[in-house]
Every structure is written in structure tokens, then in C-alpha cells.
Amino acid sequence: MSAATCVWDLKAALGEGPIWHGDALWFVDIKGHKIHRYSLDGQTTSIDAPEQVTFLAPLPDRDGFVVGLKSGLHRYHQALGFKPLITVEDPALNNRPNDATVDAAGRLWFGTMHDGEATKSGSLYRMDASGVARMDKDICITNGPCVSPDGKTFYHTDTLEKIVWAYDLAEDGTLSNKRPFVNVKLGDDVYPDGTVVDSQGHLWIALWGGFGVIRVSPEGELVARIELPAPNVTKVCFGGPDLNVLFFTTARKGLSDETLAQYPLAGGLFAVQVDVAGQPQYEVRLV
């Protein structure tokens, strides 16, 4: 496997949430209040968000997204801007949405987390045409919701506890049989961040503080690791026409001036071609 290269040295404070939609990669800089678009020919676009922006999930109309903002979920359209969709939680909690995914049925799964990363006030939610339902709770930093290729296993990460949980996912969207899938024990300051499942059912887990990502089999065994010249890797995404380009978002948040000088590409967008394809990016269906 070739080494990952930095394809956009944008020095994001907290790059996150990459998705492949249409013919481009979309992702956010949460603390920079930006939505970014990157195409394989190197063209880039950046869009200002009105507050912290945490994830993007495509809607069936060509240029529309459900977007996580600090204040709740919004619709975003390139021609119309941001329109409030739903307030998820009481603002007094000082929570914000974090990572998200869309399953094959068009259901949006997303977590909330304490913005100060201090209390277990976060929850896991499912949104579909019937509304929003809380599926799990008492989590400080929610991350990495993703689904197996057969649609029967749901994964969710409790970052501070360093556990990726697995659940049985029923056709109606209910979760059951919560169980530890993998404990990420790679060092005191290494935490599992965003995850994605490839077409073979393996999880790719980004490592905050771990300079890369790991690939874990459906049985929970570590089978591969990719190193990056950036300490804080936040999420992984498959993209490109054949879904075999692996993209990585990274962050400069929390790094000292000395560390940033040593790893100047921290906060960049990285990519590498791999020999396995990802799953398609599904669209949110609210009707």
C-alpha cells in the first residue's frame, strides 16, 4: 500500500465528517465554522457556516444536505443557505452534534457530545420520516456511527471510554444486544475517533493522538494500520469513482506550537488508494 499524502494543506482546527457525495469529498472544520469541498482534480471550495458545523448528510435533491450545527440540525442548500430543521437538545446542556452516518434505509444516525468534553451528557440518535429517537445515552464524546454492509450490525464509538460498541440493527431501525466490539488500547493518549465500514465489513478507526488509522476485522481483530504525519486523525472516508480512495481528516486542535512545528501538515486532508472499496454514501430520506 502506498503512503498517504496530503492533498489539501488547509490546516483545519478540527477537520471532521468526510463524505463522498456526487463527484467530490465534502467535510467540515468544526471549530473553524467551515464546510469544505475537495475534488480529485484538486479544486477546492470553502463555505462559511454560522456556528460550529459538525457533519453533512446528503438529501435526495442534488445540492441539499442535513447539516449538524451547534444549535441543532439544519437543512443546507448551496443556493438557499442554512434553514433550521430541528433543535435536538436543551441548549443548557452545552452539547453539540458530532459524528453521523446514513444507513441504506435513509435513516440518519448521529451523536451529540458535551462541547467542553467534560460531562456524559451526549446521546446517540436516529432520525427518520417519523422524527428523532434517542437510541443510547450517557456518553461524553460520541463518534463513529456506521453500519455493516448487510445492514444488520450497527457500530458506535465512545471515544473517552476507548470502546467501539456493536449492536444488532433490525429492519425497523431498532437497536439491541449492545456489546463491546473492540477496546482501543494503543496508548494512554490514543483515542478512537470517527469510523467507517468498508465493503468487506472491516472497520477503519481513526486515531486521535495515534498518527493514523487501524483496520479491524468483523471479528474485532486488528489487521492493518496506516500511519499519517499528523497526530490527531479524526475520521476516514472512502471516495473516488470506484470508492477505493481512502480520505482522512485531521485536526490541529490541542496541539502545542512545538508539535505543530514538528508536524506542519496537521489539520490537512490526506488520501491514499487502497485495494478494498468502501460502501456507497446513502441519502437521508425524511418522507
Catalytic residue among 99, 103, 136, 193: 193
- Residue 250 vs residues 5, 191, 192, 209: alpha-carbon distances, Å: 12, 13, 13, 10
Q: Is 172 a catalytic residue?
A: no
Query: Which phi and psi (to 5°) does residue 259 adopt?
Result: -65, -40
Query: Which phi and psi (to 5°) does residue 196 adopt?
Result: -145, 150
Rounded Cα–Cα distance for residues 253 and 115 (Å): 13
Residues recognised as catalytic:
193
